[in-house]
């Protein structure tokens, strides 16, 4: 049974082509534009900012401090694997969140009621807004439960047995020179003793907040002068910019490009993209551990992964759907060559300027903003076994007066969404191969006492240079592809229709730009590492004749001990 006319005055009467005298009085468009309403909106935005700030503070014990924590107390050969597992488990959260979001978006934003005025919406309706807020409550409860085990962690983790044995061997090797130094204290310069004391102070700092703020600029400049650290951080900034744009706008991109629902887009991303990201991170950590990759090997693995990611990103420019025809915006019919937003066939109608209730002519695949813009004067509900279908009839602006279907026109290439997302997932997995090796380049490239601070500086740059500006850059690029804006209080509010080809080229183009930047940075990292390796070998070869001469002079009895040192 179709809905009653009196239960839906906005959806039924205001959307139809009715004479001016019988058209219902529409509510003033500035009714929700008071200063009180804008203040309410700003307060909600402020609450969101505070929540995001607390979320960032709460994540610090895991990343970046957790990374340095694991690397300090794990064996050197196991550290890459442990970090890979940490990064992979971290990525399980967004994957589960997209799956949870898919379920929550099937519920209307006001769970217990539909919009005022009796408007009947379905999940496929462009005006549908899902219960986005419900996922935050569920995730917050899960985070609170997951934080409980942290209270039972010891202040200092015991080192792995293999690491302790390794350190004992090192101490045994360096013990005899230390004893010689004790036997001849006059030979030990006071400068060396001061350096050792400074090292201990750096390992166990006891600075106040004010002292740390004073020292921080000098330490920051000293860390940034390390070429490997700087280049790896820049490459990670490019990768994080790509990831931030993808995580923020990929659901919307799939929804607009392939005409699928927001719930289905989130489900696909949660089931395909994030599992591939987890696999890429784990495989990267396993390769570093199994192949015993040094700095040069880690740099080569990062460069290879990004080159393959860049290669598999090229087909994405050509997989997509063009914009369907929209009357008055992107389509000029032969029956009405001068068709504009309000053609002459509907001059007698009193169509709302800000109305949006799209309908589709299935015979010509032309979409109209509202039934009124199609010149339709009546509405018919056809009941079926599983669902009811809404038609609008007596349409003066439709070819041959055919009835039109409620809702936007379906895309003819929606089936391409799965191949598109498979390529995106493959590229993400290849890019994530670089995650663990790049972190190992940083952890092994700085002094042990500066490790925690270096990782903190790295995450600071990732937040400031990538995760903050990247969504703004992607959003601005997407806005430039809009062809029809909805107005609210005299300002642009939301984009109703995009130029799909332009949207695809600019969105994928931005992703390609950041991937290219990462490739360039990793190529420079590999070049610097090879140059340093070459210089180290040259220096070693020059010093080897002097060492051999010293061994010959020292005599056969001391040869084994000296060579071991």
Can you give the three-state secondary structure of 398-444, one letter per residue?
A: CHHHCCEEECCCCCCCHHHHHHHHHHHHHHHHHHHCCHHHHHHHHHH
More confident call, 240 vs 73: 240
Mean pLDDT of the region 504-514:
95
Mean pLDDT of the region 178-182:
48
pLDDT digits (tens, 9 = 90+) for 39-77: 777 888 888 888 878 877 777 666 666 776 777 777 777
pLDDT band at 162 (very low <50, low <70, confident <90, very high): low
* Residue 291 confidence (pLDDT) above 60: yes
* Cα 333 off chain centre by: 41
Sign of CA dihedral 479, 238, 248, 472: negative
| φ, ψ for residue 326, nearest 5 deg | -125, 120
CA 511-467-215 angle, 5° bins? 130
Secondary structure of residue 27 in the 3-state scheme = coil
- Give the chain's domains with CATH numbers: 40-153+217-320+414-533 (1.20.1250.20), 325-329+350-410 (no CATH)
Instruction: State how far the Cα of 206 lies from the Cα of 228, in Å rounded to an integer.
Output: 28
Run of H or E residues at 123? none
Query: What is the token pair recorded at 67?
Result: 């990374």
Length of the chain: 565
* Residue 205 confidence (pLDDT) above 60: no
Give the residue from 412, 295, 318 showing the smallest Cα distance to 360: 412
Mean pLDDT of the region 122-135:
76
More confident call, 14 vs 512: 512
Query: What is the token pair recorded at 311?
Result: 């290669």
Q: What percent of the chain has pLDDT over 90?
A: 20
Q: Which of 2-16, 436-450, 514-528 has the lowest mean pLDDT?
A: 2-16
Instruction: State how far the Cα of 334 lies from the Cα of 325, in Å rounded to an integer.
Output: 13
Q: Mean pLDDT score of the chain, rounded to an integer? A: 76
Query: What is the token pair recorded at 362?
Result: 């299935």
Helical packing angle, 435-445 and 274-290, nearest 10°: 50
Q: Is the pTM of this model over 0.75?
A: no
Sign of CA dihedral 467, 473, 478, 484: positive
| φ, ψ for residue 484, nearest 5 deg | -150, 115
Contact 84, 67 (CB under 8 A): no
pLDDT digits (tens, 9 = 90+) for 516-549: 999 999 999 999 999 888 888 888 777 766 555 5
Secondary structure of residue 477 in the 3-state scheme = helix
pLDDT band at 401 (very low <50, low <70, confident <90, very high): confident
Instruction: State how far the Cα of 548 lies from the Cα of 230, in Å rounded to an integer.
Output: 38
What is the signed CA dihedral for 448, 452, 453, 456, rounded to 10 degrees?
Answer: 150
Note the helical H segments in 2-150: 9-12, 35-59, 65-73, 79-104, 132-146
Q: Would you state the pLDDT for residue 563?
A: 36
Mean pLDDT of the region 352-358:
79
Mean pLDDT of the region 9-34:
56
Give the residue from 259, 395, 227, 257 showing the smallest Cα distance to 327: 395
Instruction: State how far the Cα of 100 lies from the Cα of 138, in Å rounded to an integer.
Output: 9
């Amino acid at each position: 049974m179709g809905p009653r006319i009196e239960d839906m005055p906005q959806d039924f009467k205001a959307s139809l082509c009715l004479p001016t005298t019988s058209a219902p009085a529409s509510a003033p468009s500035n009714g929700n534009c008071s200063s009180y309403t804008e203040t309410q909106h700003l307060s909600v935005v402020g609450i969101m900012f505070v929540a995001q700030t607390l979320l960032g503070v709460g994540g610090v014990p895991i990343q970046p401090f957790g990374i340095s924590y694991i690397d300090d107390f794990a064996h050197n050969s196991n550290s890459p694997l442990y970090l890979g597992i940490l990064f992979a488990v971290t990525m399980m959260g967004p994957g589960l969140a997209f799956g949870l979001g898919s379920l929550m978006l099937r519920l209307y934003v006001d769970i217990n009621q539909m919009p005022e005025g009796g408007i009947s919406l379905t999940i496929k309706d462009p005006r549908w807004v899902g219960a986005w807020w419900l996922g935050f409550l569920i995730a917050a409860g899960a985070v609170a439960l997951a934080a409980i085990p942290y209270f039972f962690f010891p202040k200092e983790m015991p080192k792995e047995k293999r690491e302790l044995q390794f350190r004992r061997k090192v101490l045994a090797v360096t013990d005899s020179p230390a004893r010689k130094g004790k036997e001849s204290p006059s030979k030990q310069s006071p400068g060396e003793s001061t350096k050792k004391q400074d090292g201990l102070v750096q390992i166990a700092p006891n600075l106040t907040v004010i002292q740390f703020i004073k020292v921080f600029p000098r330490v920051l400049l000293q860390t940034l002068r390390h070429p490997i650290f700087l280049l790896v951080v820049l490459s990670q900034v490019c990768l994080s910019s790509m990831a931030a744009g993808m995580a923020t706008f990929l659901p919307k991109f799939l929804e607009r490009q392939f005409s699928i629902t927001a719930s289905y887009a989130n489900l696909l991303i949660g089931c395909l993209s994030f599992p591939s990201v987890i696999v890429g991170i784990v495989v990267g950590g396993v390769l570093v551990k199994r192949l015993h990759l040094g700095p040069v090997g880690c740099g080569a693995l990062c460069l290879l992964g990004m080159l393959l990611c860049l290669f598999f990103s090229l087909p994405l420019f050509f997989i997509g759907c063009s914009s369907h025809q929209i009357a008055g915006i992107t389509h000029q019919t032969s029956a009405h060559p001068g068709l504009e937003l309000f053609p002459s066939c509907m001059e007698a109608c009193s169509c709302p300027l800000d109305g949006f209730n799209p309908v589709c002519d299935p015979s010509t695949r032309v979409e109209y903003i509202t039934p009124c813009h199609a010149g339709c004067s009546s509405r018919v509900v056809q009941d079926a076994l599983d669902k009811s279908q809404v038609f609008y009839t007596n349409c003066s602006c439709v070819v041959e007066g055919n009835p039109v279907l409620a809702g936007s026109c379906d895309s003819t290439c929606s089936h391409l969404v799965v191949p598109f997302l498979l390529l995106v997932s493959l590229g993400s997995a290849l890019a994530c191969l670089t995650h663990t090796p790049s972190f190992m380049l940083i952890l092994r490239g700085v002094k042990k006492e500066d490790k925690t601070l270096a990782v903190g500086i790295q995450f600071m740059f990732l937040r400031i240079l990538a995760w903050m500006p990247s969504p703004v850059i992607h959003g601005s690029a997407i806005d430039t592809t809009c062809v029809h804006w909805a107005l609210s209080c005299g300002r642009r509010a939301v984009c109703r229709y995009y130029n799909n080809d332009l949207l695809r080229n600019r969105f994928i183009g931005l992703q390609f730009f950041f991937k290219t930047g990462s490739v360039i940075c990793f190529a420079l990292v590999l070049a610097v590492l090879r140059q340093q390796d070459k210089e180290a070998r040259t220096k070693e070869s020059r010093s080897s004749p002097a060492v051999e001469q010293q061994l010959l002079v020292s005599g056969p009895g001391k040869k084994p001990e000296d060579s071991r040192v």
